[in-house]
Amino acid sequence: MKYWVVSLIVFFGTSVHAQKFGKNIPSFEHRKWHFGSMFGTTSTSYNVVFKKNMTDFDSIHHIQLQSRPGMSIQIPIISYNPVSTFHVRFIPSISFHETNFVYQYVENGKYRTRTHRTEPVNLNAPLLFKLSSKRINNFAAFALAGFCYSYNVSSQADVNQNVSDPVIKLKRSDYNYQVGGGFDFYLPYFKFGFEIKTSRGINNLLIQDDTFFSAPLESLKSRVWWFSITFEG
């Protein structure tokens, strides 16, 4: 919520400044290299495929995924700009994610609920291509797309399962594609940006070991929404 408030304040301030003083940092978009930082929040879930006989496992009736908020820190932004409206961007980051798996099942004739939480901590290496509109005074819009490799440093892939308290094991490596867009605002001394993008996993992250939580699942692929603000100089 704080990021939305900051974005509105900066947008208003930029508009007022543009009306009074004209174009800020006029040569910025013609520089070959830009550097900066990015901070944001995430909303994480999975594209899940259930087994056709899911309800045969431990009398499971229903499985629900609940997205939880996370955060990301992306330092530095490295942007190569062959032309003023096209940018090749490498933005390494660390991100923290959280998703609840809620299992409803029948035990002794009664409906019961059991919840398991996945909390991957990812090191991300995205390569993105950003296409910007031509600058209108101190404003520009953009679209972006690219690919990312993520490594889960908190993966429990190698832990020994506890039968009474199992975990959903996820693979360490995730490959995903990203698409999104946003707006750039040129301030007197730096460029401020607001960006929304989504990433979709390509590979199946699930390690199937036939526990209570994993047995009904066929595959899990990452699905993340990113809401970020950028500062570039």
Instruction: Tell me the C-alpha distance between 170 and 208, whole Å.
Output: 9
pLDDT at 15 over 90: no
Beta bridge partners of 211: none
Domain that holds residue 182: 2-232
Place 163 in a pLDDT band, splitting at 50, 70 and 90: confident
Buried-state track 132-147, b at ≥16 Cβ within 10 A, e below 16: beebeebebebebebe
Number of domains in the chain: 1
Task: Give the model's pLDDT for residue 1.
Answer: 47
We report the CATH number of the domain holding residue 54 as 2.40.160.20
Instruction: Tell me the C-alpha distance between 142 and 27, whole Å.
Output: 18
Each residue's pLDDT tens digit, 83-121: 999 999 999 999 999 999 999 988 787 888 999 999 999
Task: Give the model's pLDDT for residue 69.
Answer: 93
Each residue's pLDDT tens digit, 17-75: 444 557 899 888 889 999 999 999 999 999 999 888 766 666 788 889 999 999 999 88
- Residue 42 and residue 227 in contact, taking contact as beta carbons nearer than 8 Å: yes
Report percent pLDDT > 90 for the chain.
67
Q: Do the strands 173-186 and 110-118 form a parallel or antiparallel pair, or are they unpaired?
A: unpaired
Distance from first CA to last CA of the chain, Å, rounded? 25
pLDDT at 133 over 50: yes
